[in-house]
Chain A
Amino acid sequence: MMSQPPNNPIESDHGDPSDQRAGFTSLFVTLALTIAATGYFVGLRQESNRQRFEPTNTSTDNATNNHITTGLDLAKPYHQMAAINTGPNRDWKNHLRNAVPSNLNALQSFDPSLRKLALITRASTRAYEGAPPLIPHPIDQTSTASCVACHTNGKSVGAVTAPKMSHPLYANCTQCHVESNSSFSPNANLLTDNSFQPLRSPGPGSRAWPGAPPTMPHKTWMRQDCSSCHGPLAQKGLQTTHPWRANCTQCHVPDATLEQPRFNPTPLPKLR
């Protein structure tokens, strides 16, 4: 069903002469650990390059069958969208458990330099935190079937990873995702600079004490499948350190202030 990533967990970084980290203060270590822990579940690299599904253009019946057999998470009717539960790991359709390679039985460790790299890479493919990621490769201009081939479940070939979609199957991939550089004229220069100052990082989730599970630092809309960004195919710095735990929201809660609609907190009763 899916190809295996180069799947040995990254080992701890002892003895790595990485100059990037040399000389960082303990403050940074603390920060890094915070970000690290955040990332193992939630992280920031969400929708990178995921695509959508194209129903066949000849027979809708076939399309139906395809969906059923692949067990994919399907787009919801518009009139139901406001009401549906879109949270992560909300039901049996989450595939994190199935996606875990069977030989993962040791706690994965975390490498802050890879985390940083993952976040930079992630930020460089989108205009702001929450924007649909750009497509880092040439595309077939008129075939979304070609998107779905790799991004339905994610795929890894050598060093190249096609991330799994983090959201349900919407049919028209290129509605939201465009090439980061036109494959038709890849060397075109920008006409003007743009001084947009993007919202970049929602920042680490909050933790009750060091070692407590962090809350999710980002919204969950369009990020219903945690494994897309934190599963075994995700970028190394964002992978969960404990992939055998499939029920993410058991420990990590979303932050209601980041979701829509935004509710105003109601007061607690007072002692009278």
Chain B
Amino acid sequence: MSANIRFLLNGLEEVSVSGPADQTVLQWLRLNRRLTGTKEGCAEGDCGACTIAIAHTREDTRQTVREDVLVWAPANACIMLMGQLHGRLLVTVEGVADGQALHPVQSAMVTQHASQCGYCTPGFVMSLFAGFRSAQTGATDAIHDMIAGNLCRCTGYRPIVAAAREALGPLRDDRFSAMAADIAARLRSIEAQGALSSATPDSKFSAPRTRADLASALTRDPSARILAGGTDLGLDVTKRRQRQPSLISINAVRELQQIEKRDGALVIGAAVTYARALTRLAALDASIGVLLRRLGSAQIRALGTMGGNLANASPIGDTPPILMALGASVIVGSVKGEREIALDAFFTGYRRTALETGEFIDRVIIPLPGADDFVRVDKISRRFDQDISAVCGAIAFQRNGERIASPRIAFGGMAATPARARRAEQALDGAPLTQATFEAAAEALAGDFAPIDDFRASAAYRMRAAQNLFRRWFLIATGALLEAAE
């Protein structure tokens, strides 16, 4: 067992710390280590000024593009807690250059005039560095995906995208290329010392390794909060200044990291990050891939988990509508064993779920749609990238000849919880696949939901945009609307 949080910093320096469970990586970097290149811009994971790179050892070497034995990702230091670093490599903007020689990402940023005030720049450097280490290409869409979690108010982005294109071309080495194997070995030796269980007089942070240990830890400490990706819990720390006396991380639990196809369903462990789930879910329908690429940012997707997105029960979570439309259920575990809850019965009220004390989400079961089924999810937000939905709507149905069978429709942003649109479903069920049917469903939707006015959208807009999704879905289902950009 490891009583201290142990990780590598900017190379082979091993750091061992114990501190409050709710200390953020950003606080530690800036205040404890005086590494001030990493900035606070918003303390909510939305601006990217605090972006760091993290790496862990690669288990599945089949996906290796580089010589690399490490998996790299960007992350928001502002909402990441120190315990989440355990067993990982942390790289900050101070650690990417090789002595006086700038990293290719850094020199491209200089030559392209990609910094003005410079405050966001370290974050961009780190997002691009993580992309560089992950052997990302310099394709324009990939670059936008890489930096969608970084805001710049000065440049208008054109020179930053140009710098990314310059730096991310052919695979090149940097100071981590030669070090990767040593880093991986050191990380494994940290792992070999057992699960993290760190305590200070005021707080506890533990990261059990097995499902059984997780269940018993939750039973021993029923007041503990489960930490998954922390992309929501982190806001309680930074925005609401809530103390976190006891946190139990699910990230080290192997069983919760699995993704597999079993019995006609895709089964995704609760601790699987969006980043890992993305390709598997995108395979069900391209629109799910688009949705997930718009969920948060690369930084958020690297930490945020499938289980976390369900457990926080936000009315505007991005994954619940499509999971509901696909008929997903969750398996929840506890010392008493497992039980299955249909996702549309899981959300019991505003930010409330059917989870009982001592229970945790173990995995999500997503029945695979048939080859001929229609599946589609659409997110509508003010900004394309890294925004919270005004409305998110999803639909799945089978085609029974010219008729619609077993429709499932769910919306986020329309009620206090993500919810099925039962009246709209009735309007589709058994009806012919015609414009009139979808118009009737759109009309029926008005009876399903009474959305609210708020800063994301008015009730009227929400309803109209949601009703228009039926029009869009009809066009897509009949092949009349090609979504490809022209």
Q: State whether these chains interact.
A: no
Interface residues, chain A, with chain B CB atoms under 8 Å away? none
| Chain B residues proximal to chain A, CB less than 8 Å | none
